[in-house]
Structure 1
Amino acid sequence: MNTSLAVARRAALRARAAARVRTYVAPAATQAPAPTSPAPLTATMPQDDDPQLADYPRLPFVSKQTRPARGWEDQQFRRNYGEPLHEQEEVLSMWGPDVPVVPPQTALRWFSIAVLGFVSFGVFCNYAHPQIPAVRREYPFAGLVSELGGYEENKARVEQDTEADE
């Protein structure tokens, strides 16, 4: 009983796989292309007659990352066995460049907002800190020039004599 059920199930899977293969093959040149799942990489490539392709089917330029995750004989690559490969399969496969989830204009706007937020926070921190509540230290003898080695680069703040000014 279980073997006949398994055989029937395998036959149904093969029939569904064959139907799926037919849906992803490019339509004839006289028909309008069948809509596939919307994806950012749906730009169509020019249909030039390449003599090296001969009668190989012209497949749509759609990344396999846009396909649903389940329902494939090979779930890792999201394809069925025997399905024809695109001539640029290395770009359109699951291991190709990632399909952007967000349009580039939206991503640029979000990135600009984030950078503007960090810069404005830095400017706010730079100008919003309070003044130091103490008097800075001053050194005698012209800022300890001779005690620090006599270099003008080592000169500290010069002491201001408040009693002599009076």
Structure 2
Amino acid sequence: MLTRDHGPQPLRWIGRSTLRAVGAFAPVVITAGTLGNSGDLIVSQHHRMFLYQRNRSQHVKTSELLVQAKHLVDGENVFLREGGFVDYLSLVFDRHEIIYAEGICAESLMVNDATLSRLPEDMAEEVKTRFPGLSQNQHFGTEAGRMVLDEIGTAAFYKNTRAG
């Protein structure tokens, strides 16, 4: 599979879990074009998108950020879809990677204690069984939280005209 920084990499595992789409498991929908994505992208609330910030703020000293999808929710261009069921797929590589989904950059599953604790129990157990002792480091060190995004404004990342 093509990765942003390391070219083609072997995919070690694909996990799939079907969950009720409520509360913490309700997916985030990033509508087509919002971040430059070619189609609607549906991800978990904790899934981090790789965003490039053209105009750096005083709070963020880098132009490349990982942002949890739930922090991008604005109710219009990016929203929670409650109700029904959702299938989540998790991709594991030898290391944490930035991959492409609907033409934009998103992270692969980073295998470590913090991320495994957020997965459904059966999926977390399968990852631990398949990859005993695997603990991946974050692809790079800058993650933007809610306070930084409030300062920057999520619309600063939007690519389509209706989002600005």
Q: TM-score, normalised by structure 2?
A: 0.21
Which structure has more relative contact order (CA 8 Å, sep 6+)? It is: 2
Larger Rg: 1
Report the structure, 1 or 2, having the larger helix content: 1
- TM-score normalized by structure 1? 0.21
